[in-house]
Structure formats: C-alpha cells, structure tokens
Amino acid sequence: MTLLGFARHCDRIIEETALMRAVVSGADLTARVPSCPDWTLHQLVLHTGGAHRWAYDTVRTRSARMFPPDDVTDGDGPDSNDPAALDAWFAEGAELCAGALREAGPNAQVWAWAPGNPVEFWARRMTHETVVHRADAALAAKVPFEVDPEIAADAIDEWMWLSTLPQTFEGGPGPAGLLGEGRTLHLHATDAPPGVDAEWVVDLTGDSVQWRRGHEKAAVALRGPLADLLQVSYRRRAPDAGRTEVLGDRALLDEWLAHLAWD
C-alpha cells in the first residue's frame, strides 16, 4: 500500500518529467550537477530518460530477467546535442513508460530489483527516480526545488522501505555495523499538511534494519520541510544544509546516510 496508488504514480511520471523539462529548458546543459558531480545536466537528463525507457522495455516485454541495458529502445538518447531533440526524447520516454505501465496494470509480474516483482514497483520507482533527479536538475540550474507534500512523503516512504532491503548494502560492509542499543533516527516534516503522515523512525536496535511511521524520541532527529527531508534522505543535500536541522547524535545520522549506496 502506497500513499499515491498505481494510477497516480503513472500520471506522476509524466507530470514530474514535464517539471524537470521546465527546469532544464534554457539551462546550461554542460553545467555540472552538484549532487551527481560526475554528470553534466545533459547527462542527468540522459540517465533519467534512459531509466524511463528501461522500465518501459521491462514492462512491455514482461521480462522475467533484467532487461539488457544495451538493448533498451533508443536508450542512448538523440544523436545530436540539440536541446530540442533532447527534450522531445525525454518527453516521449516518460509517455512510453507510463503507457506501458497502464497497459500492463499494477499486478503484472515482471523482473524488478526489489521483492514482489509487480509492475506497481516500477510505477512508483520511476515516479521518484524522476522527482529526485528533478531535484538534482534544480541544483545544477540554481533554481528552487519544490514538490507536492504527498509526493515527497511517498518518496521518503519508498526510501525507508528500500533502505531495509539486503541489496541496499551490497558491495559494502553490510548493516551489522549499524545495529546496536539505542540507535534510532527520527525524521520529522515541519510543513506536512493535514492528512499527510510525515514522521518516520528508523530502528537499528534489533537484528535488522526496521522502519515505521510515528513520532518518537530517538537518538537523533532530522527536522525540516518535506522537500528538504527528501533531498537529505536521498543524499542530495547535507543534513545541515538548507532548512533542515539535526538534533542529537549527528554521527549516527551521517553513518546511516553513508550506508545508503543506491540512487
């Protein structure tokens, strides 16, 4: 159960892409992306649009295995550096992705890198893939990043869920070093409107990483507007940058964020 639901996620892929296109329009495509320093703004758009098309091919073919990235339909983007061609390619990929998802329906079984394998996973993941990279684009273009409260809260929910999965720690030391008595984190949105549940607890006191929604005293708390909590959670901003504040064990928060290796 997600905050938005399947149909809204499908719609939001297109809507978030349109918002990201507006940020990119007229911006310097050679500008470096501060939150993804290996990429230019042009490469960020190619990455995001390529993800849309990878999900499109995965879903439309009902692939039971990871769809080969080299076989993704027009996955490399336009041949030219023409901004108009890039924009058209980006818009088309979002439409293709959302269309394939709607045609398949939320319960169709396809390959996914998280448990369950329903198409619904891809609708949610591509929504928040686009939201987070729109935040990246805003940083590169030096414009404000704003996001609907429900979208931000759902993105943090997804981040919480994905952060408990074993594959999150692949290639690293694993979660064992994070676990211990009294090791809890609390995220508290200061601007959540009525009806949007926007407080979370990460519990590292047991045998595995757990999370839940709620208002609880914790070893460290991160407080701030939803848009800022989203960016800190996905490691797009430092916890003490922007409008967020850290109360308590800052080292625990830094340690937790450092273990989250996925984008």
How crowded is residue 119: how many other Cβ atoms within 10 Å of its Cβ? 25
The pLDDT tens digits for 33-57 are 999 999 999 999 999 999 999 999 9
pLDDT at 168: 67
The pLDDT tens digits for 64-103 are 999 999 999 999 999 888 999 999 999 999 999 999 999 9
Residue with tokens 């703004």: 41
At residue 170, does pLDDT exceed 70?
Answer: no
Angle among Cα 106, 157, 56 to the nearest 5 degrees reads 35
Q: What is the mean pLDDT of the chain?
A: 93
% of the chain beyond a pLDDT of 90: 83
The pLDDT tens digits for 233-260 are 999 999 988 799 999 999 999 999 988 7
**Please, where are the H alpha helices in the chain?**
6-24, 41-60, 83-104, 119-141, 149-162, 226-233, 250-258
Cα torsion 11, 5, 137, 148: sign: positive
The pLDDT tens digits for 14-30 are 999 999 999 999 999 99
Angle among Cα 135, 137, 138 to the nearest 5 degrees reads 65
Q: Parallel, antiparallel, or unpaired: how do β-strands 220-224 and 245-248 relate?
A: antiparallel
Contact 31, 141 (CB under 8 A): yes
pLDDT at 117: 75
DSSP structure class, residue 217 = -
Domain ranges of the chain: 6-145, 165-258
pLDDT at 174: 62
pLDDT at 1: 47
pLDDT at 242: 78
At residue 261, does pLDDT exceed 80?
Answer: no
The pLDDT tens digits for 106-140 are 999 999 988 877 999 999 999 999 999 999 999 99
CATH architecture for residues 165-258: 2-Layer Sandwich (3.30)
Contact 51, 115 (CB under 8 A): no
Go through the chain and tell me how many residues it has.
263
pLDDT at 178: 87
Contact 11, 130 (CB under 8 A): no
Going by C-alpha positions, the residue among 18, 81, 13, 12 that lies closest to residue 46 is 81
CA distances for 45 relative to 5, 50, 230, 260, angstroms: 26, 8, 20, 23
The pLDDT tens digits for 187-246 are 999 999 998 999 999 999 999 899 999 999 999 999 999 999 999 999 999 998 879 999
For the whole prediction, is pTM greater than 0.75? yes
Kindly state which CATH superfamily the domain 6-145 is placed in: dinb family like domain (1.20.120.450)
- Higher-confidence residue of 133 and 163: namely 133
Mean pLDDT of 140-161: 95
> What H or E segment, with its residue span, contains residue 247?
strand 245-248
Contact 22, 138 (CB under 8 A): no
Structure-token pair, residue 2: 């997600």
How crowded is residue 212: how many other Cβ atoms within 10 Å of its Cβ? 11
Q: Parallel, antiparallel, or unpaired: how do β-strands 199-203 and 210-213 relate?
A: antiparallel
Going by C-alpha positions, the residue among 253, 254, 262, 260 that lies closest to residue 184 is 253
pLDDT at 79: 87
By three-state DSSP, how is residue 183 classified? Answer: coil
